[in-house]
């Protein structure tokens, strides 16, 4: 276990204050239940998401670096935890740029000086995902000991999306053999939910594209991609798709509704954040985990399975 | 080349005869990637990577377009399911595996046809192309 993960700087990012509010709430509640501390990054800003980096990637690098600079230089943190795949990805990307590209370092130093704060230097903090935080901060064995409401009987397709593992070069800690995460077949969410008693189904589209940048827009392409993911999860025997990204989660939920309305294609599989599922296993109430905020009706399923 | 819409329709209609279905699905997946390579002015490769032309075509298609790697694992899963259907024909899971290979091939077709309409598809992740690169910060 990594003791430095017991208390981390928490970077929720913009999505977790909006469409991903239930992910924010359930992450905080699960952390509390497991004794993992979170200290929100003070005065954090947008990571640059997709919009800024499409205009100017160095400004995106700066925006992500500012979050890490505050964590390191103002809060004295050594670890920043970002539950959103987009934020996690962008902070890791900024870290890589600052470690390997002199022009990015110059741009960040210049903008940071103008903004009046110390420039972030590569290596000052380690950026991790919420999956790393629980997997390496608590581990499966300890998690098993704390499970009071086993997810036994719940069949789960774990959906990671593509930003969690791609591109490989910005995740040097992955693909490092036993115990590390895999970029081709990620398994941390599978491991944690199995420890919570759930049955994970073999789901070959776990890293497939859900429509990415277009998933929240009214796009037929996204609807078809999402519908295919939902059907594949059902064909694999899943009751639930577990998610770990607010963009993927929103996309799956919204396009499930749209697929029924526009294409007349109804699917029954439900979407829940992995933190909501872990919280249920730890005995927290669905309301405390904001399951009622999901578009996809998870409460009914949890009742059917005797979990709520 | 078979039009992409026709490929999608054929993928959705494939049923029965598992070994033959696997062969046809693999061929259709290759045909999808041929569209992508040809649309970018390339000559679709006849080479193989790890025994699969599909993986060679993916590698060719991703050259200079890192976001095309959003379908890398889908291609690898298609190859994996092809192997399962060809090498373990009596494993008792043929129907489930065939259905899964259909969905994987369909996902590849949807992703590629979508990307040919919306170039940014899959680009949230790793390959945003800057609209301008020279700036005064």
Mean pLDDT score, A117-124: 98
C-alpha to C-alpha distance for A63 and A53, rounded to whole angstroms: 10
Q: Is the dihedral of CA A259, A265, A268, A274 positive or negative?
A: negative
Over 80: is that where the pLDDT of A54 sits? no
Shortest distance between the Cα of A135 and any Cα of chain B, in A, equals: 24
Q: How many CB pairs under 8 A join A and B?
A: 122
Query: pLDDT band for position B131 (50/70/90)?
Result: very low
Residue among A55, A62, A163 minimizing CB distance to B124: A163
Token pair of A242 as six digits:
């577990």
Over 50: is that where the pLDDT of A183 sits? yes
C-alpha to C-alpha distance for A88 and A82, rounded to whole angstroms: 5
pLDDT of residue A214: 65
User: Residue A155 in 3-state DSSP?
Assistant: strand
ipTM (interface pTM): 0.86
Is the full-model pTM beyond 0.90? yes
B121–A213 C-beta distance less than 8 A: yes
A211–B100 C-beta distance less than 8 A: no
Shortest distance between the Cα of B112 and any Cα of chain A, in A, equals: 10
Could you give phi then psi for residue A125, rounded to 5 degrees? -135, 165
More confident residue, A14 or B118: A14
Query: pLDDT band for position B135 (50/70/90)?
Result: very low
**In chain B, domain spans:** 4-117
Say if CB B66 and CB B122 are below 8 A apart.
Answer: no
* pLDDT tens for each residue of A96-117: 999 999 999 999 999 999 999 9
Of A268, A190, A254, A264, the residue nearest A226 (C-alpha) = A254
Task: Look at strands A155-159 and A126-129 and give their pairing.
Answer: unpaired
Q: How many CA atoms lie within 13 A of A213 on its CB side?
A: 21
pLDDT of residue B17: 65
Shortest distance between the Cα of A77 and any Cα of chain B, in A, equals: 26
Mean pLDDT score, A241-260: 94
Domains of chain A: 3-129 (1.20.1050.140), 149-304 (3.40.50.11810)
* Lowest-pLDDT choice from A15-24, A212-221, A272-281, B86-95: A212-221
B135–A211 C-beta distance less than 8 A: no
* Lowest-pLDDT choice from A50-54, A211-215, B41-45: A211-215
Query: pLDDT band for position B18 (50/70/90)?
Result: confident
pLDDT of residue A213: 63
Query: pLDDT band for position A73 (50/70/90)?
Result: very high
> Chain B interface residues facing chain A, Cβ-Cβ under 8 Å?
66, 69-71, 73-74, 76-77, 80-81, 96, 99-100, 103-104, 106-107, 110-111, 113-114, 117-118, 120-133, 135, 137
Residues 6+ apart with CB under 8 A from A3: none
User: Residue A57 in 3-state DSSP?
Assistant: helix
More confident residue, B135 or B65: B65
Over 50: is that where the pLDDT of B34 sits? yes
Asked if residue A167 has a cis previous peptide bond (ω within 30° of 0), the answer is yes
* pLDDT tens for each residue of A134-144: 999 999 999 99
Q: Is A64 left (phi over 0), alpha (psi -120 to 50) or beta?
A: alpha
Shortest distance between the Cα of A219 and any Cα of chain B, in A, equals: 10
A86–B124 C-beta distance less than 8 A: yes
Over 80: is that where the pLDDT of A1 sits? yes
Mean pLDDT score, A25-38: 98
Say if CB B85 and CB B30 are below 8 A apart.
Answer: no
C-alpha to C-alpha distance for A278 and A286, rounded to whole angstroms: 11
Q: What strand order describes the sheet that includes A126-129?
A: A37-40, A7-10, A79-82, A126-129
């Amino acid at each position: 276990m990594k003791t430095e993960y017991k208390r981390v700087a928490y970077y929720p990012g913009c999505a977790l204050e909006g469409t991903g509010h239930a992910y924010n709430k359930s992450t905080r509640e699960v952390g509390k239940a497991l004794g993992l501390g979170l200290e929100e990054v003070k005065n954090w800003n947008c990571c640059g998401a997709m919009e800024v980096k499409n205009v100017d990637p160095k400004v995106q690098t700066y925006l992500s670096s500012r979050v890490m600079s505050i964590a390191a230089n103002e809060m004295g943190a050594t670890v920043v935890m970002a539950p959103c795949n987009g934020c996690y990805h962008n902070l890791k990307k900024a870290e890589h740029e600052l470690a390997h590209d002199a022009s990015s370092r110059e741009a960040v130093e210049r903008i940071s000086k103008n903004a009046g704060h110390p420039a972030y230097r590569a290596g000052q903090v380690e950026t991790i995902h919420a999956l790393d935080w629980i997997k390496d901060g608590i581990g499966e064995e300890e998690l098993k000991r704390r499970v009071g409401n086993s997810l036994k009987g719940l069949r789960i397709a774990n959906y990671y999306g593509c930003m969690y593992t791609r591109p490989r070069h910005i995740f040097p800690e992955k693909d490092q053999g036993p115990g590390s995460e895999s970029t081709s077949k990620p398994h941390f969410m599978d491991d944690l939910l199995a420890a919570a008693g759930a049955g994970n189904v073999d789901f070959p589209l776990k890293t497939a594209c859900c429509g990415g940048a277009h998933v929240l827009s009214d796009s037929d392409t996204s609807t078809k991609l999402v519908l295919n993911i939902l059907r594949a999860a059902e064909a694999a025997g899943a009751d639930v798709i577990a998610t770990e990204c607010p963009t993927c989660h929103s996309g799956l939920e919204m396009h499930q509704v749209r697929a029924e309305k526009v294409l007349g294609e109804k699917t029954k599989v439900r979407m829940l954040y992995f933190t909501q599922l872990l919280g249920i296993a730890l005995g927290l109430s669905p309301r405390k985990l904001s399951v009622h905020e999901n578009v996809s009706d998870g409460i009914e399923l949890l009742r059917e399975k005797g979990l709520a | 080349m078979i039009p992409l819409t026709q490929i999608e329709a054929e993928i959705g209609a494939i049923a029965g005869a598992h070994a033959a279905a696997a062969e046809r699905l693999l061929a259709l997946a290759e045909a999808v990637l041929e569209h992508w390579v040809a649309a970018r002015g390339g000559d679709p490769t006849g080479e193989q990577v790890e025994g699969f032309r599909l993986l060679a075509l993916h590698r060719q298609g991703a050259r200079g377009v890192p976001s095309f790697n959003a379908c890398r694992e889908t291609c690898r899963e298609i190859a994996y399911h092809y192997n399962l259907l060809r090498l373990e024909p009596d494993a008792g899971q043929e129907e489930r595996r065939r259905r899964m290979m259909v969905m994987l091939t369909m996902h590849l077709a949807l992703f590629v046809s979508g990307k040919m309409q919306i170039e940014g598809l899959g680009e949230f992740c790793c390959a945003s192309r800057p609209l301008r690169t020279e700036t005064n910060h």
